[in-house]
Amino acid sequence: MRIALAQLDPIVGDVVGNQQLIMDAAEKARARGATLVLTGEMALLGYPPRDLVLREGVAAACDRALMEIAQKFPDMTLIIGTVRSVQRDGRGLANSLAVCRGGVVTQYYDKQLLPTYDVFDEDRYFSPGTGTVVIDHGGEKCGLLICEDIWGADDVATSRHYSIDPVAQSVKAGATALLVASASPFVLGKRARQHARLRQLAQKYSLPIYSCQQVGANDDLVFDGGSVGVTCAGVIMHMGKLFQPDLITIDLDVPGARKSGADTTAQRASVSGAATAHVPCAHGDLTHAIVAGISGYFAKTKHTKATIGLSGGIDSALVATLAALALGAQNITGIMMPSKYSSGGSVDDAKELARRLNLGRLLTLPIDQAHELMAQKLRAGLGAFQGLADENLQSRLRGLTSMSVSNADGSLVLATGNKSELATGYATLYGDMVGAVAPIGDLLKTQVYAISNWINAHFAQLGFACAPIPEASITKAPSAELRPNQTDQDSLPPYADLDSIVTGWIEHEGDVPAIALATKLDLKLVERWCLAIDRAQFKRDQSPLVIKVGARTFGRGRPMPIAARWRLA
């Protein structure tokens, strides 16, 4: 038997376009001799649909598309991720797999485990499935599962536990292989945890597992692909490309050839269109994930050009480099907006970055005259205007300038704030926080440095003619340059210390004494910055969309109260 995993990049809500993606994949699979095609989770509607799934007519449109697909491929078995209306207690929708055979939809499997943590809120929309579906195909009994049904929250840091085990239910119902449709968002390190989970289950039940994963990016979420087959001996087959659509066809042995614990079905598979085995690299994965997030957002909102404020510092240099990888350097406008406090070195570094990247356009739009005029007017009205208020005025003038360029040429502004700044409130509302997307908003400052160095070290592999980020942008002391001789460490602890506090408070939701003990930092210092993180929530609730690459990302997955008090220590 030959099966195919259709690793697709759907657009949420584009049922007609996604239907065509599925049919194109099925045509290719049929040409390769496959008789069964598995898509990712909710491939027909796109994942996650969020409240769009509640709109009148969405489920009906999916039903019509399914019937058309089934009629076009009567000689194949297609297992397609979709949404459907159901008549049972709870919400009237189900996250489903439709089995298309003989020109009709013969049955559905409804997802049983509905995640309601982090960015997931499936219990808001769907009723859980109530039974197992095992289909016969080519002498194999294939148990159908959807994403969380197999992960069971074991691939994430959560206290969520479920009272049922869909994997065990499928095996009890006679499954000799598992077909899993997934749309599992990228998080650094998650892929390894998922592989471990698949290996453990394959060995435990002595059956092969074939998991088809969504690819691409939808809003803040990135899907890395990498669809896999796992042998009954627990050997992972890296068959799907990472961060790219792919069609993987696999020849399977007959079940009778298996022996207990033996590596049969997938080990002797013939894989067509497979990628070379991926060697894990944290910095490379983060780079490719953010690039996919930028390119997906722009493509799916039908934008092609980006505008980025270039300060000569490391954050804007990294954002511009990632945007060049995602959109092409010719589609990037860099804006230098020097003030009277901007150093000559910073201006030179911004120019050098633009030269190395070969940006499509570099504008110089100084803010010093506008700053002086506004400061005079504010001093006249207020009597005094200085310090932080004057510093933030400069940042907001840069935000105004960036958005004006965006309005003039139809580009989207990319914000340059990192997670350390967003955490502590060091980023300025309506200033450096303006824009459509914050590409590095989930990267700590220490990660910004590490990834910048990695990109420079691997520039040829990424397609650059030289190391794109000027060395001075990496090595000089970081500064907002909003007052004379300013550095970030005038206001913040050293970034290595700050990032360990942010990690403890945000990623692990720890308490102050535990963080102080683990980091060996002063208790009062930890308490001060944990309080600052909580106080800055009102800013983060107005932040551009942050591309999620970590376990706890500012935005949808961390809905914290603004008007709240919590005793820190």
Question: What positions carry a catalytic annotation?
Answer: 41, 111, 147
Across-strand partners of 236? 230
Q: Which residue is listed with tokens 């294939």?
A: 142
DSSP letter (8 states) at residue 418:
-
Tell me how crowded residue 189 is: count the other CB atoms within 10 A of its CB: 14
Distances from the Cα of 519 to the Cα of 151, 226, 425, 500, angstroms: 32, 36, 22, 7
- Alpha-carbon distance values, 159 to 128, 153, 553 (Å): 20, 8, 17
Torsion of CA 237, 242, 246, 252, to 10 degrees: 10
At 307, which helix (H) or strand (E)?
Answer: strand 306-309
Burial 544-567 (b: 16+ CB within 10 A, else e): bbbbbbbbbbbbbbeeeeeeeeee
CB 191 within 8 A of CB 161: no
Q: What are the φ and ψ backbone dihedral angles of 196, each rounded to 5 degrees?
A: -60, -40
Q: Residues 10, 60: contact at Cβ < 8 Å?
A: no
CA nearest to 63, candidates 112, 110, 96? 96
Q: Which residue reads 């013969």 in tokens?
A: 106
Distance CA 526, CA 460 (A): 41
CA distance 423 to 504: 12
- φ, ψ (nearest 5 deg) of residue 315: -65, -50
C-beta atoms surrounding 531 within 10 Å? 15
- Asked if 351 and 336 count as a contact pair (C-beta separation under 8 A), the reply is yes
